[in-house]
Each structure stands twice: as C-alpha cells, then as structure tokens.
Amino acid sequence: MRPMNGKTALVTGASSGIGKAIARRFADDGARVYLTGRRKDELEAAAEGMGLDAVPVPSDVSRAADLDRVMDVIRADGRRLDVVVANAGLGDGARLQDVTEEQFDHVFGVNTKGSLLTVQKSLALLTESASVILLASTTVHQGVDRMGVYAASKAAVRSLGRTWAAELAPRGIRVNVITPGPIATPAIDGLADRFGQSTQDLHAALAADTALRRMGRPEEVAALAAFLAGPESSFITGAEHFVDGGQVQV
C-alpha cells in the first residue's frame, strides 16, 4: 500500500524542475496526478515518465478560463482533489530602474494571480481534509539584487497562504507554504543567462549563500511536499516551511 493510493493531486507547472519532481513523487506514492504547464510537448513528455495515472492538461495559470478547463477535466474523470500544489512560477531579474510594466504584470500574473486562480478554481473539488501547498521563495526574506518584483510576488503568495488557511480551516482544509532556497532547476539556468553569468558560477554563488554550501535538489522539495500532502502533517496549517539548506535560517 503506497501512501497516496486512491488520492488525487493537481500540480501546476509540472513539466520542469520542482513541480515535475513533486508530481513524480506523488505518482510514485500512488496518487493520480494532474499536471499543468503551457508547453504541451514538455508537459506530455514529463507525464509519460510518471506512469498511467499522470494526466497532462496543458494550460496557463494566469488565465482563469484555462483553470476552469483543468477543473472540467478532473470533474469529468469523476475525481475530487485531495492535494493542490500551486507551483507554477517564474522570475524577473531586473533592477528597479529597469522593471517594465509588462514584466511586473507577467510576474505577478503567473506567481500571484496564478496561485490565487489555481486555489480558487479548485475550491469546489477540494475534499474534506484536503491539503493545499503554495510555493514562495527565500528572496522574500532577503534583499536580492534584481529579484524585487519576483520577491514581492512571492511575499503576496506567503500572505495569501495565511488568509486561506484561516478561510478554509472550517472545511478541514490545510494550507501551507513551501519556501525553497536555491534549487538546481532550469529556472536557475535561465536566470544565469539573464545575468550574463555561467550556470556554474551562479550555482557556486547561490551554494555559498547556504549553510550547507550546496544547491538543493528538486526531490528535496518534493519530499517536503509529500509530508505536507499527507496525514503526518495533519495539525500543520498556515505555516511557512523552509527547504533552503539554512540559507535564511543560519
């Protein structure tokens, strides 16, 4: 008997990095997992490696109509949601003087509005005692050069997690926030490009900023998500959980 047998989960942004590792962990643990992301081919390839109970639903979290369609697919399968992970997100990498209105709208549109729409559209399908997991970032707790808009969008997500924990508690639904430190994913490679740095140099700089002196692995975030998704964390809600190698703790 696997720990998530009979459970249904939705993981947004599951074609890559942390979301992909979380979806794979849930699938390995026996759950049926609905995966989202905008790039259809990447999403289907990711789902294919996770077995028959991994269902790709290409969609954009910043569009309400797309999330309605995701919920329609889940509902048509006769499923309810035991776990929702609002993971889809992206960074900006621009200093105050360079931030454009389009960048601001894009980052907040995906990270903040996308998290809100994901959870809001899931509400009707959430089971009693469901677990909702949001993704923030250690940049919320530091002043990181060029990450201002990104950090602010994630600070809003952390705040929403508190409010939703209060609002959904009467239904027995828990809401928790995972705050990763530097995790080796394609997103970090993209930032290195944007900063004109090699991936290796950026990894070294980020690793040096942690107490454990290394980058984290997506599977290490997935292990925390598995804990928060399951009954072992039944008395934990509204909290922020760091998986950051001690980056903002030590």
Ligand X SMILES: NC(=O)c1ccc[n+]([C@@H]2O[C@H](COP(=O)([O-])OP(=O)(O)OC[C@H]3O[C@@H](n4cnc5c(N)ncnc54)[C@H](OP(=O)(O)O)[C@@H]3O)[C@@H](O)[C@H]2O)c1
80 binds ligand X (CB under 6 A): no
82 binds ligand X (CB under 6 A): no
Q: Shortest gap between Cβ of 36 and ligand X (angstroms)? A: 5
87 binds ligand X (CB under 6 A): yes
The piece of 16-24, 26-34, 93-101, 125-133 that touches ligand X (CB under 6 A) is: 16-24
Angle 41-225-110 from CA coordinates, rounded to 5°: 50
User: Residues for the chain: how many in total?
Assistant: 250
List 2, 6, 39, 41, residue binding ligand X (CB under 6 A): 39
51 binds ligand X (CB under 6 A): no
Angle 177-17-201 from CA coordinates, rounded to 5°: 105
Q: Shortest gap between Cβ of 199 and ligand X (angstroms)? A: 12
Residue type, position 195, single letter: F
Are 200 and 188 in contact by the 8 Å Cβ rule? The answer is: no
List 183, 192, 226, 228, residue binding ligand X (CB under 6 A): 183
Q: Which residue number, 39 or 171, has a Cβ lying nearer to ligand X? A: 39
Active site positions, annotated: 150
Q: Which residues bind ligand X (CB under 6 A)?
A: 12-19, 36-39, 42, 60-62, 87-90, 110, 114, 135, 137, 180, 182-183, 185-188
